[in-house]
Structure 1
Amino acid sequence: MSGEPELSRADYRHFLEIPTRWMDNDVYGHVNNVEYYSYFDTVVNQYLIENGGLDYLNGETVGFVVETRCAYKRPIAFPDVVEAGIRVARIGTSSVTYEVGLFKKGQEAICAFGHFVHVYVDRATNKSAPIPERARAAMEAIKAG
């Protein structure tokens, strides 16, 4: 992701506040890199539950994460509150690529950005399946551009 321009808050279509936890910090005094992926997962799935009809317990289709990427720009540390922004970069028949930006609450400088790819599969067979219409509509609502 080096060489890519940093996105600003205005580039994202949906935000979720996520409080950091004491245990998120590592021995270096900032949030450990693995937690950033948890923030990505949280903002995407919260959006899908609230807007896309995601039924993660009983739905016929589920989105499997097949790729993630993160570029770290500025540290986050407990007790910061993260404002996680998302937008959809690409929607296919059975896959979607989200772009995620993490900001400290109230600050303009991006702390980390990356992407998160879901491939939808039939829960019973684990075979590729079309994105459900309600989920697709929610994705279109936050599509970049």
Structure 2
Amino acid sequence: MPEQPKHLRSDYRYFHSISTRWHDNDVYGHVNNVTYYSYFDSAMNTYLIQEGGLDIHRGDVVGFVVSSSCDYFAPIAFPDAIEVGLRVGKLGRSSVQYELAVFRQGEQEACAAGRVVHVFVERAQNRATPVPERLREVLEALRVA
């Protein structure tokens, strides 16, 4: 099996801090794998709301997750303080592929790395729509070459 590429803090453009919670741990004493997806959601949506002005309650356009994956390299556990790194790998007409990584605070190598694809849709019609211009601008700022 080939060695996983390292995911380094310097590879990411935006960071979202999270304090792990007691109930994030599973019976094995580390954060359960499904919880990483909630960390990803928090990082992506915080960025879209704060930087892109996404109105998740009343906006005409919303982002739906259509694909996601995560690879795990080292465990994290409560009470770890973590940061989720975010960058954009691909930006299409109506979709964006985020690349994310979970870092223990102050560490340079990721404990996990994943990918999430959002498709932007018109809320009323539930149909794909072009990424709104303001969101496109802030997503471009995170885009990697």
TM-score range for the pair, normalised by the shorter chain length:
over 0.9
The residue aligned with 1:43 is 43
**Secondary structure of the residue that 2:82 maps to in structure 1?**
strand
**What is the number of equivalent residue pairs in this alignment?**
144
**Secondary structure of the residue that 2:44 maps to in structure 1?**
helix
**Secondary structure of the residue that 1:121 maps to in structure 2?**
strand
* Cα-to-partner distance string for 1:45-82 (whole Å, 9 max, x where unaligned): 00001101110001101100000100000000000011
Say whether residues 1:90 and 2:90 are aligned partners. Answer: yes
Write the distance in 2 (CA, Å) between the matches of 1:113 and 1:80: 17
The residue aligned with 2:120 is 120
Indicate the percent of aligned positions where both proteins have the same amino acid.
Answer: 54
The residue aligned with 1:139 is 139
Amino acid at match of 1:100: L
- Runs of 4 or more consecutive aligned structure 1 residues displaced over 6 Å after TM superposition: none
Write the distance in 1 (CA, Å) between the matches of 2:73 and 2:127: 37
**Secondary structure of the residue that 1:50 maps to in structure 2?**
helix
Amino acid at match of 1:128: A
What TM-score do the two structures reach when normalised by structure 1?
A: 0.96
Write the distance in 2 (CA, Å) between the matches of 1:143 and 1:126: 26
* Cα-to-partner distance string for 1:104-144 (whole Å, 9 max, x where unaligned): 01111210001110001100010110100010000001111
What TM-score do the two structures reach when normalised by structure 2?
A: 0.96
The residue aligned with 2:29 is 29
* Cα-to-partner distance string for 1:93-112 (whole Å, 9 max, x where unaligned): 00000000100011112100
Say whether residues 1:106 and 2:115 are aligned partners. Answer: no
Q: Give me the CA root mean square deviation.
A: 1.0
**Secondary structure of the residue that 2:113 maps to in structure 1?**
strand
Q: Mark the runs of 5 or more structure 2 residues left unpaired by the alignment.
A: none
The residue aligned with 1:19 is 19
Write the distance in 2 (CA, Å) between the matches of 1:3 and 1:119: 31
The residue aligned with 2:66 is 66
Q: Mark the runs of 5 or more structure 1 residues left unpaired by the alignment.
A: none
The residue aligned with 1:57 is 57
**Secondary structure of the residue that 2:127 maps to in structure 1?**
coil
